[in-house]
A and B are shown apart, each in its own frame.
Chain A
């Protein structure tokens, strides 16, 4: 009896699964696979990205004359494929490299997607793109920054986001411009945690600065999620660097701001490497103590009516959140991928790959602050770049560099509180 009972329940569960799974088949759509963390600790990233990509699909599939500068926006569907629509097939990587791989395989062999976008976590991008490489399907990562991803000799892998060597270039040019404006920028302190992000970025910046002839680099390391940062701040206070570059996650960034105030330390120029300093909770907690901090971001809302402002508005309507750097990069990567499919005029993977390699987008065709999109032999976007933004009123970042995109002039020296 009990066996029958349990069996009945199980088959009911199986049937409801089958019903939920019945996919609706549509003609004349181009399926694009997307692998994202939709569950687990980073599920919110996946949810935000999903909303952003749905906005992007809306822009592509419907006529948006107000965004005519963006490729694909003006008319409905893909002109190169006689108006075909784009369809997202989103898969959950569950934060696991093995699951990411399973889903990549499923997207390619069962869903017949023509290309894949993903997969947020660098480790999962690594394994999922290996499947795409074996099957000869283009894989574009809009956000994974691990250096080794583009060092594997892959032919089907592309990356639009800026990576650590780009940060070196951006900071070097920014500091050169600040020096020209009268700031001292000789002695630089790199403050970073001991995570993969903190130590690898600090390493790349230290070696990059040395190559560019910036000799006076001081290294100040601390354990991630620190409970006390007094010794690090005292060290800075004693060495008196001209520039302090912070490579920190949110909780440490907040503690640094508080400790600097309590020890009354203000570096002449405080520059942050995105991460914690871009987190809205950082601004809420210590924005008032961090007036004048510079930060890196590839996203900046332009004046009303500009493509980025229109897109930011659409995103906010869809998700209820403000647009920020990560979702912006994801949306941008998707546009680049679909633009290549449109130019290929075909869903043949080899033609899409060729079109991706021929990609040459100009800054005014983008929503992000890249200097363009153009891939090198390894698939890295060589024109990936970012803005420098500054917290000028304690609540909102404004873009201050480079000059062509600046809303306001950079404010020096660092004001603090």
Chain B
């Protein structure tokens, strides 16, 4: 029961947040935090738990975004119908990419994923049917509620919150299943895990595919809120990097790590841009980068691992390192 206390408190706070802070910009900020928390949590499955640092996750994000916008722009359907399509394409693509690249280890895997993402961006840029360099836009004036084109950010906020809860439940279920134990074993030492009979390649591939499916949902939700996707905003490598940094900052391999990371970085980026962006000279990125640097220097395991350890120390001094499974 005690284990459920903090998640319930946070969930209650998340539900109450937009009702307490009523400004439209703060509500939208909240929705963006949840959106990136979904994407970073999805990345966490393969990047955090399995230790396979993918920098090409934007490919799956783009699958979802393009499927959602495509179902409207090409078939006149609600962008919602794009979600299953996006998931199918993302999972298939993950299988195709995963089989050869997951054999690579460490940096080589990361590099291969970057190459795939950039190739995809170039292909889409030159594909007329997908809007090429112009991009695809969604419904600007909603025909009905299923077009998900709202003035207020509130509907997006609660939709994203629901999807985030589902994503976290899937992750939590996975970590406690056989697959989760395999993944942690592979992360610690793939060779040892293999020698003990853990099906390393297959487990990594499944994690990659699950992660791809959830990332694709995040992409579709993003496109629905923004109402537009082009190669740069749907398949640009910076999105991958952003997702990765959020997970790492909060604590990769921890259930709530990516949520904490998103809750810090998204407001930081938006608020610093709001205050400093208009002055030019890229001050936003200086502040943003400096804070990431500070955290990387003083707490490379992620903020959540720090909190876990501090709380753990206070409560049970004998098991200081026992809380969580920080890397």
Contact = CB atoms under 8 A, between A and B. Distances in A.
Contacts of A39: 277, 280, 282, 284-285
A345 to B, nearest CB: 28
Interface string B266-286: 000011111111111010110
Contact of B298 (A5, A21, A109): A5
B23 A110 contact: yes
Contact of B151 (A134, A148, A152, A200): A134
A126 B228 contact: yes
Interface stretch (B55-63, B105-113, B131-139): B131-139
Interface in B278-316: 278-280, 282, 284-285, 287, 290-291, 294-295, 298-299, 306, 310
Given A17-B272, A20-B275, A98-B226, A9 B294 contact: yes
A17 B284 contact: no
A2 B126 CA distance: 51
Contacts of B184: none
Contact of A103 (B273, B279, B291): B273
Contacts of B278: 34, 38, 89-92
A99 B273 contact: yes
A13 B295 CA distance: 12
A127 interface: yes
If over half of A's interface residues share one DSSP class (helix, strand or loop), that class is named, otherwise mixed; here it is helix
A105 B24 contact: yes
A290 interface: no
Contacts of A196: 132-134
B130 to A, nearest CB: 13
A366 B132 CA distance: 36
B277 A101 contact: no
Contacts, number: 128
B32 interface: yes
Contacts of A102: 25, 28-29, 32, 270
A50 interface: yes
A109 B273 contact: no
A133 B273 contact: no
A17 B271 contact: yes
Contacts of A127: 226-228
B73 to A, nearest CB: 11
Contacts of B272: 17
Given A6-B299, A127-B227, A134-B151, A91 B277 contact: yes
A122 B278 CA distance: 19
B288 to A, nearest CB: 10
A194 interface: yes
B232 interface: yes
Contacts of A106: 25, 274
B140 A154 contact: yes
Contacts of A9: 294, 298
A89 B274 CA distance: 10
A166 B284 CA distance: 39
A46 B284 CA distance: 15
Residues of B in contact with A, size category: 35 or more
A43 B280 contact: yes
Contacts of B233: 96-98, 123
Nearest to B306: A3
A116 B102 CA distance: 48
Contacts of A21: 271, 274-276
B151 A135 contact: yes
B66 interface: no
Interface in B173-224: 222
Contact of A130 (B24, B28, B134, B227): B227
A159 to B, nearest CB: 16
Contacts of B228: 97, 123, 126-127
Contact of A109 (B25, B284, B291): B25
A133 B24 CA distance: 15
B141 interface: yes
A91 B280 CA distance: 9
A369 interface: no
Given A94-B273, A109-B23, A146-B134, A130 B140 contact: yes
A14 B108 CA distance: 37
A127 B136 CA distance: 11
Interface centre among A21, A47, A90, A127 (most CB of B within 10 A): A127
Interface of A: 2-3, 5-6, 9-10, 13, 17, 20-21, 34, 38-39, 43, 46-47, 50, 89-92, 94-99, 101-103, 105-106, 109-110, 122-123, 126-127, 130, 133-135, 146, 148, 152-154, 194-196, 200
Q: Report, nearest first, the 7 A-B pairs whose CB atoms are least far apart.
A: A92-B277, A90-B278, A196-B133, A21-B275, A6-B298, A39-B282, A134-B151
16 contacts: A6-B299, A17-B275, A38-B278, A90-B278, A92-B273, A92-B280, A95-B232, A97-B233, A98-B226, A103-B273, A109-B25, A110-B274, A123-B134, A127-B227, A196-B133, A200-B134
